[in-house]
Structure 1
Amino acid sequence: MDTKDLSKRILVNIGGSQNVNNATHCATRLRITVKDEAQINKDKIDGLDGVLGSVNSGGQFQIIIGQNVGHVYEAFSAELEGTSDKVEKKEVIEASEDKKKSVFSNILDTITGIFTPLLPAITAAAMIKTLLVLLDLFHLIDPTGGTYKVLTFAGDTAFYFMPVLVAFSASLKFKLNPYLGALMGLILIHPSFVTIVADKNPINLFGFLPVTLANYSSTVIPVMLIIWIASYVDRYADKFCPEAVKFFIRPLVTFFVMIPLALVVIGPLGYLVGIGLENVIDAIQAHAIWVLPLIFGALSPIFIMTGMHYAITIPLVLQSISSNGFDMLGIGFLVANIAQGGAAFAVGRYAKTTQVKSLAYSSGFTALLGITEPALYGVNLKYKKPFLAVMIAGGISGLLAGILSVKRMTFAPTGLTTLPIFIDPANPWNLIFAILASVLSFILAFILTTAFIYKDNHLQKELGGK
């Protein structure tokens, strides 16, 4: 695939550079914020060689490329920079659209825009923690040695300093100076404040404002709200500060106003929201532990298809892992990903043309590794019945895994290569049950897809049969 040619064709069919506000990418998608959605020629884009499909979700036009998306993004950015209408290139999409979006679309766009750039850092830290568990499990490392201690705090770093990472990313999203935003995140986990919280000694700000003693490490909701409000405070400060002293007065005003707001009002409010979310998750897990794995096992293909998977899951997962040390959503995504692979393999087995067979097997393999979009858009959704098989297999396997209380112990993408994230030192059966649920999901998806193919003459013809 010629990425330069593909990027040119994409640009032409979204209305040219003058119709692009911003662009970024995740693991498989080129995500573009456009000014006028009416100028997008979706059918032409979907038909391009190298494009698996597209979806308009959360205020973004998302083009599914697959694992080559990074190269396409670089070529696309180069095309934008080469035009007379320069477009700001950032890792995070800013909400600067001319058209008003719905509140729901704005929320999805915001959460996705904040967390997508953080995934490499979160995943790296999570895999370090997983590696440490493996080394300890097989007695390949001394738990009292220096290496163990270094890897332990290295793996914990991204999660402990999550408010800082989120603050920086949210600042880019809300158009606040990211370093000022990071400073606000650092306030929440400053050692002095952490000590005050640990000592449980109530303190007042300015003598009359009670500071809520909350542990903000690893939290995400409080700092998102803080940065959102800070962006408005900063704009007002910019508007009213005299030009001669704006350079130092503007950040001072923003920071000084936000200190009491963050520690007395917004931070505690966000903390309570997080606690409420945690209580809901705990209640579900206490009374019907199978619900979340069932829902996400069956419906994650739809979440991925609509581009909502990051916005819906990341805050939930981080909150759950921070509070409980595990989450129950991960196993749902694992069995759903494996089901995508099983269905695609069934299509490949029956397909008569080399092109379809090759696409089905290759995309099925990547789905088993956790990258499902090629199988989802290139095979299973395209032929419809395999997509149904994926949802059924994922739901049944998720239900079984939920009944068996399979937990994901740290955050990371789910696939065969990341199965160690299901290793629970206190319960060796956790990983075994995760593997069993995955095997069941693959077999069910494969059998169901095969059955659907044999019963559907039209589908047989689509796959090259007579």
Structure 2
Amino acid sequence: MKYQELVKTIVNNVGGKENINSVTHCVTRLRFKLKDEAKANTDTLKKTDGVITVMQSGGQYQVVIGNHVPDVYKELTEQTGITTNSEVNEDQSPKDKNIFNAFIDTVSSIFTPILSVLAATGMIKGLNAVLMSTGIIDNTSGTYLILQAAGDTLFYFFPIFLGYTAAKKFGVKPFVGMVLGGALVYPSLAPAAVTGAGTVEPLYSVFQGSLFESAIHLEFMGIPVILMSYASSVIPVIIAVYFASKVERPLEKFIPDVVKTFLVPFFTILIVVPVTFLLIGPIATWIGSILGAVTTAAYNLSPALAGILIGGLWQVFVMFGLHWGLIPIAINNLTVLGNDTLLVLGQATPFATAGVVLGVIIKTRNTKVRALAIPAFISSMFGISEPSLYGITLPRKKTFFATLFASAVGGLIMGLAGTKSYIIGGLGLFAFPAYINPETGIDAGFYGAVIGIATAFVLGLVLTLTIAYNPKIDSEEEQEDNLKPETIIDNVEIASPIEGEVMPLESISDTAFATGLLGKGVAIYPTKGEVIAIGDGVVTTLFPSKHAIGLTLDNGIELLIHVGMDTVNLNGKYFDSKVAQGDTVKKGQLLLTFDIEGIKSEGYSIETPVIITNSDQYLDVVEAETELAKKDFTLLTVIN
């Protein structure tokens, strides 16, 4: 019952129950599909006790809760009756229908429901690997076989489970999706069963002399069937279920209601299963093999560079949901190659985060920060770093960059050591068994994982204790909720330098601006192509392309106005500056003009960030509650 009020607040501030298409959850986040994200009160949610932050990524409105998100999700579904939508939503906004967002949303929707069980069964396989590598049991014992059955069943029959979740995503009847997945792993159609493990001669071969040469052992209505091993596969069943969604819907329309219940699945399965074995399965398997080969080639080109990039950027991938695009590739690599070198390089990240957060716990004098940091530290040690990311490291910036650096070093060491994962195992401390080679046991790759992770943890801790964290920023007397009204002095109201529609900064497409890494502020969708000085000061920056101008006001505030996204590529076209870098300007002076329609005609967005680049020097930068920015309207308030 303790989550009732939190859930009511969340539902009200995502636009109410009527604005929710569907909702699911992962390890730390509620993932909403909203009819209109503009109706959500993002700022209010971010300030709500029990909410760590809000992210808008991949067509999803993500409310980050923390480790107790399953309890919050349960309360939410009980209050609203809303769960994951089994139908494809046709009323998404155009923004959500771009290819990248659609891909991320599809992958996360299919894999999120299954990841926790996949990790749990992987931990059982990891335990089995530890017991075998230490000589406690051998791989012929009954103990080993039963534990292996418990741990490997889900991964071996992965197409069946993915058939269910993919069906939920694509709007197919879930049990039809399971049948499609089950057909792919039907024992009599496994290549070894048909060929007698190589003792039965094929009828003939197809694609002879090419990379796709295949032996044919059976035909379907005279058409050769290329049999492949679909156990643990990912791509074939997802494509098959998507194809089934295109078959099932017309059947729903044309088959009479009186026989629809059994004839729709009858014809769907009758059509899709043969097409899957004849066409979808082989092509998808070849795609998977090529994907595995490309991933391996990229890794082999420079394991060290791969470790730096994946390790150093993994936290950023998680922030924006980009890691969902890598998970199917890693699972595909395990299926095709027997190991993965992709996700493993990011596994130092939660430990680097834990080291940084431990440093904050040691140094901070703020009891509230310590109370938040301790559970976040424990969570990071077990592989869940979002509470640390959004609650501790990211708001303090330097600690966030310390995490990225320590993670990159950990990834570098693991890359140089050739660390691989051989199972989808647990997270954090529970992931170590996944690095044990099932053939050779504990090898250099395993030691590389231990050394890389330990180095990332220690480096994150040392950086925080030395240069990455100043506890004064969190001291009790500097906290806003402890300040008396009369001590908040010299607040500065910033007028809008541009007329137009005010947008939340996090809603724009450029992630550097949207995440606040360059400073706090807002974005404006201009209705008039003029930039006006909002106070006396100096032009400290004027880009040669004239698309962005920076001012340092006499009161010390540093303001950046960046007209449009990627408009630097226009090389000054449609822009006309009225001042030069170094000029002294007066309040109300015209600084820059630009042609809105001209910029839009070139295909560029005109959403314009207006940010305080030195906002870390102030207690806060608060957005005005206004939808329109006009001359002399207060846009931002800088709180000293």
Sort the Cα spacing of 1:119 and 1:95 in 2 relative to 1 into closer, same or farther, 3 A. farther
1:285 aligns with 2:299: yes
- Please give the alpha-carbon distance, in whole angstroms, between the structure 1 residues aligned to 2:100 and 2:133: 44
Matching residue of 2:282: 268
After TM superposition, list the pairs within 5 Å mapping 1:49-128 onto structure 2.
49-81=49-81, 87=82, 89-90=83-84, 95-100=89-94, 101=96, 102-128=98-124
Deviates more, 1:107-116 or 1:156-165: 156-165
Supply the AA of the counterpart residue of 2:50.
Answer: G
Matching residue of 2:219: 204
Larger proportion of helix: 1
Matching residue of 1:258: 272
User: Which of 447, 450, 463 is matched with 1:432 structurally?
Assistant: 447
1:325 aligns with 2:334: no
Task: Determine if contact 1:284/1:291 at 8 Å carries over to the other structure.
Answer: no
Matching residue of 1:239: 253
- Please give the alpha-carbon distance, in whole angstroms, between the structure 2 residues aligned to 1:341 and 1:95: 39
Matching residue of 2:228: 214
Sort the Cα spacing of 1:294 and 1:278 in 2 relative to 1 into closer, same or farther, 3 A. same
Task: Determine if contact 2:31/2:60 at 8 Å carries over to the other structure.
Answer: yes
Supply the AA of the counterpart residue of 2:220.
Answer: L
Task: Determine if contact 2:425/2:433 at 8 Å carries over to the other structure.
Answer: no
Q: Which ranges of structure 2 fall in alignment gaps of 5 or more residues?
A: 204-215, 479-640
Sort the Cα spacing of 1:279 and 1:92 in 2 relative to 1 into closer, same or farther, 3 A. farther
Partner SS, residue 56 of structure 1: strand
Deviates more, 1:137-146 or 1:25-34: 137-146
1:401 aligns with 2:399: no
Supply the AA of the counterpart residue of 2:473.
Answer: K
Q: TM-score, normalised by structure 2?
A: 0.68
Sort the Cα spacing of 1:92 and 1:301 in 2 relative to 1 into closer, same or farther, 3 A. farther
Partner SS, residue 332 of structure 1: helix
Matching residue of 1:20: 20
Aligned-pair identity in percent equals 33
Larger proportion of strand: 2
Supply the AA of the counterpart residue of 2:59.
Answer: G
Sort the Cα spacing of 1:352 and 1:369 in 2 relative to 1 into closer, same or farther, 3 A. same
Supply the AA of the counterpart residue of 2:285.
Answer: Y
- Please give the alpha-carbon distance, in whole angstroms, between the structure 2 residues aligned to 1:188 and 1:16: 42
Measured against aligned partners, the alpha-carbon deviations of 1:234-260 in whole angstroms (never above 9, x if no partner) come to 001111112333233222221222123
Partner SS, residue 348 of structure 2: helix
Superposition deviation, residue 344 in structure 1:
1.2
Measured against aligned partners, the alpha-carbon deviations of 1:342-380 in whole angstroms (never above 9, x if no partner) come to 111122222111111232233122212111011000000
Matching residue of 1:378: 391
Measured against aligned partners, the alpha-carbon deviations of 1:312-340 in whole angstroms (never above 9, x if no partner) come to 22211111111222212343222111111
- Please give the alpha-carbon distance, in whole angstroms, between the structure 2 residues aligned to 1:461 and 1:98: 41
* Structure with max Cα Rg: 2
Q: Which ranges of structure 1 fall in alignment gaps of 5 or more residues?
A: 82-86
Supply the AA of the counterpart residue of 1:420.
Answer: P
Measured against aligned partners, the alpha-carbon deviations of 1:417-460 in whole angstroms (never above 9, x if no partner) come to 33222223514333322111111101221222334346x6xx73
Supply the AA of the counterpart residue of 2:340.
Answer: D
Matching residue of 1:45: 45
Matching residue of 1:171: 167
1:151 aligns with 2:165: no
Superposition deviation, residue 166 in structure 1:
0.7
Sort the Cα spacing of 1:319 and 1:291 in 2 relative to 1 into closer, same or farther, 3 A. farther
1:461 aligns with 2:473: yes
After TM superposition, list the pairs within 5 Å mapping 1:300-449 onto structure 2.
300-309=314-323, 311-425=324-438, 426=440, 427-449=442-464
Q: Which has the higher contact order (CA 8 A, sep 6+)?
A: 1
- Please give the alpha-carbon distance, in whole angstroms, between the structure 1 residues aligned to 2:125 and 2:289: 25
1:190 aligns with 2:201: no
- Please give the alpha-carbon distance, in whole angstroms, between the structure 2 residues aligned to 1:298 and 1:464: 32
1:299 aligns with 2:313: yes
Sort the Cα spacing of 1:92 and 1:109 in 2 relative to 1 into closer, same or farther, 3 A. farther
Measured against aligned partners, the alpha-carbon deviations of 1:267-316 in whole angstroms (never above 9, x if no partner) come to 2221121111111112123332234432221111111111232x222211
Deviates more, 1:413-422 or 1:114-123: 413-422
Q: TM-score, normalised by structure 1?
A: 0.92
- Please give the alpha-carbon distance, in whole angstroms, between the structure 1 residues aligned to 2:122 and 2:255: 44
User: Which of 144, 161, 164 is matched with 2:157 structurally?
Assistant: 161
Supply the AA of the counterpart residue of 1:267.
Answer: G
Supply the AA of the counterpart residue of 2:157.
Answer: F
- Please give the alpha-carbon distance, in whole angstroms, between the structure 2 residues aligned to 1:278 and 1:339: 28
Superposition deviation, residue 465 in structure 1:
8.5
- Please give the alpha-carbon distance, in whole angstroms, between the structure 1 residues aligned to 2:393 and 2:115: 26
Superposition deviation, residue 142 in structure 1:
4.2
Sort the Cα spacing of 1:380 and 1:246 in 2 relative to 1 into closer, same or farther, 3 A. same
Aligned length: 455
Measured against aligned partners, the alpha-carbon deviations of 1:149-168 in whole angstroms (never above 9, x if no partner) come to 22223322111111111111
Superposition deviation, residue 464 in structure 1:
5.0
Task: Determine if contact 1:34/1:60 at 8 Å carries over to the other structure.
Answer: yes
Partner SS, residue 292 of structure 2: helix
- Please give the alpha-carbon distance, in whole angstroms, between the structure 2 residues aligned to 1:387 and 1:47: 21
Supply the AA of the counterpart residue of 1:120.
Answer: S
Partner SS, residue 290 of structure 1: helix
- Please give the alpha-carbon distance, in whole angstroms, between the structure 1 residues aligned to 2:122 and 2:85: 22
- Please give the alpha-carbon distance, in whole angstroms, between the structure 2 residues aligned to 1:375 and 1:130: 27
Partner SS, residue 30 of structure 1: strand
Task: Determine if contact 2:418/2:444 at 8 Å carries over to the other structure.
Answer: no
- Please give the alpha-carbon distance, in whole angstroms, between the structure 2 residues aligned to 1:219 and 1:80: 36
